[in-house]
Structure 1
Amino acid sequence: MANLLDRARNILLTPKTEWPLIASETDTVSGLYTRYILILAALPVIASFVKMSLIGTGVPIFGVSIRVGIGLGLVQAVVTYGLSLLSVYVLALIIDALAPTFGGQKNPVQALKTAAYANTAGWVAGIAVVVPWVGGLIALAGSIYAAYLLYLGLPHTMRTPTDKAGGYTAVVFLIAFVLGIVIASIAGAIGGAASMGALSHGSGVEISTDNGTVTIDEGSLGKFEQMAKNMEAAGQKMEDAAKTGDTSAQQAALGEALGTMLGGTDGKTVEALKPEQIKPFVPDELGGLPRTSYNVERNTVMGLQIANGKGSYRDAAGERSLDLEITDTGGMKGLALFAGWALVQTEKESDQGYERVYDDGGMRAHEQWDTSSRSGTFDLIVADRFLVKLQGRGVEMDDIKKAAKSLDLSDLAALKNEGTKP
């Protein structure tokens, strides 16, 4: 414990002198986990549990405080902790795979050192979530400082040239940010759905709920490992592209690496639909209202594509309206499916309205109604790729849903493999 505290203090206060020492040490994956990662990664998880289940969160000056039940809190804490430990290993694999691209040397143990010790700032700052008001800002500052620690460490652990450390850091930080979103989404969804606890189920995890069970099977857990393998393959392509000196090839390889993170675990890339392919799904009339405007477009960022079509529908008096948006998540379909409402089934109702998430004919549906404004939203995930969103004002919820179902959703689903490439 004394060694752990010394290391944590030194990496936070004197990182420029501590990183060379870290890089020179002989260590193992199991040693790094047992002596450092397992302990430090638990700090923000414990703090969050104390905050949400024991102290509560809310607005104390108004007498409002919300506490998650201890059972639910423990389930969410266990899930978050497990995913956090796994994410450190996945991030280390990614750091290792990217090393040659930025002039460094591949070394899995050094990569795990990098991921673990750079994360120290985020883990320690995560304790501050128990502090009202400013806790979130402190945690955010810790994440930013973690990026700085990563920048300082990469030249020592991965032997990357100093002038390339900035780009290396930017790519790794982006990927770490995506992993954070994934972890928060999964943990939040499971924590919100669970009511009785978690239990072992073969090689997977089963969470009991009010309406049955939420099961994360062995295959789902294995997707993290598959993603890491795909990322390693993408990293090899980046290494090969770097040797050629071809800037275009390097950019394409980097886009493929990001696509592996954002596009799922099937090892495929996806070209989003062309504007002319989306336009037919934005009809001239919808729900008895004429289309007053529309826009379709496709954008590409570092090889990742996403397409979007929008249509506005109004009556002459402007009292009734529908706004349609169809998104082809394309190369980012994996991330899109981690939308908070996409993972669980739920049903809430109050005097202000209601919200429901359910399966509707093989599609994940989300509907939300606001009684006071007499407005509602109906969302659908079609073929695990397309997001259909329809917002209505001055119309009934049944009319919004009926209008959404009048779209050619089966034809849209038939395009689920369009543009998919190995």
Structure 2
Amino acid sequence: MIDLKRTLDLIKGGMFDPEQTWRSYLPEAEDWQKTAFLLTGPLIILSAVVAYIFGFVGSDISLFGGFRPTIVSTLMTLVTSAIAAVVIAFIVSALAGAFGGKNSFALGLAATTFAFIPGYLGQAVTWLPWIGGLLALGLFIYSLVLLWKVIPVYLAVPDGKRVGHYILSLVVTIAAMIVLSITVNRMMGPSMGGPSFERLSERSMSMSERSVPGAPARTGMVSGLARQGELMQAAEEDTFDPPSNGRLSNGQVREFIRVMQRTEELQQDKMARLKELSEKAESDEEISLSDFGSMMSGMTEMAGLQTSEIEIVKSAGGNWAEHQWVRESLRTAWLQKDINDTVKHNFALYQQYEEELAKYIAR
């Protein structure tokens, strides 16, 4: 199943004539073993071996400082890259099925492998002196653009759901890669001297702070993930004892409406930004680094409505448990109307604000 000439043709086509290459390979994409032997495996091996060679040329002035790759670290790169390829293909294809597309691991592997051809090449040249890091970053961004374009071709995610599928796929993939990186680093141990996730993060942050005066201590997507985790933890720790009579107050209902309206506005702003980026990708317009930076830094917030709700509630000093109780009480009132005095009271409040509440409760 190994055909070096075909592999090189697919890599070349995937870089310079991607859509034609994707469509010509589509009839063969149902065979994941063929894709693995013909494209995924060779790309993983090529990028690791070339990176190993370049590491001896430019490691002193590359992103990784004085670290030089070893045989062991290169073998670990091969293993983790293979695991990552499988995990990414599984995530993207499984979520495609959830969003109304095709849940096919074979098609997912073909799609993600084609999309990340530039990324594999970027990994190979990372060690080049001075320009390696910039080349790798540019090629990675190109991979993200290709991923956006290849998903409807191979996994048939409906147009109206592409943005949600794309964002959630990236969020879940990034979380999985962080877990994989931490696991591998613990297995290898600090004695390996390799570029651990923590050290790379610190080095990247220090480089960013030197190049951008006044930059905050934590920026971008990683800090966004951390912030969302902190918000979720704070929300889970909230407790609320409902009044003994179970009745909502006018103030609680008004605050619930305010939170939901602000959450909706926030989501609409983010969706408008993502739509603008998707239209750029569709029309082959240039997507700037700041465009992708904005998208990636906000991805965790776009994963679901509830996260934004939590942020609106907690940033105003509110109680998430109380917010949830108000929601459930209003929904019960909408469903039951007047089965007892408490529900009757709450339903009267619902009717008073029905125009604002209907879209959040009656659904």
**TM-score, length-scaled by structure 2:** 0.49
Greater share of strand: 1
Greater share of helix: 2
Higher relative CO (Cα under 8 Å, sequence separation at least 6) belongs to: 2
**TM-score, length-scaled by structure 1:** 0.43
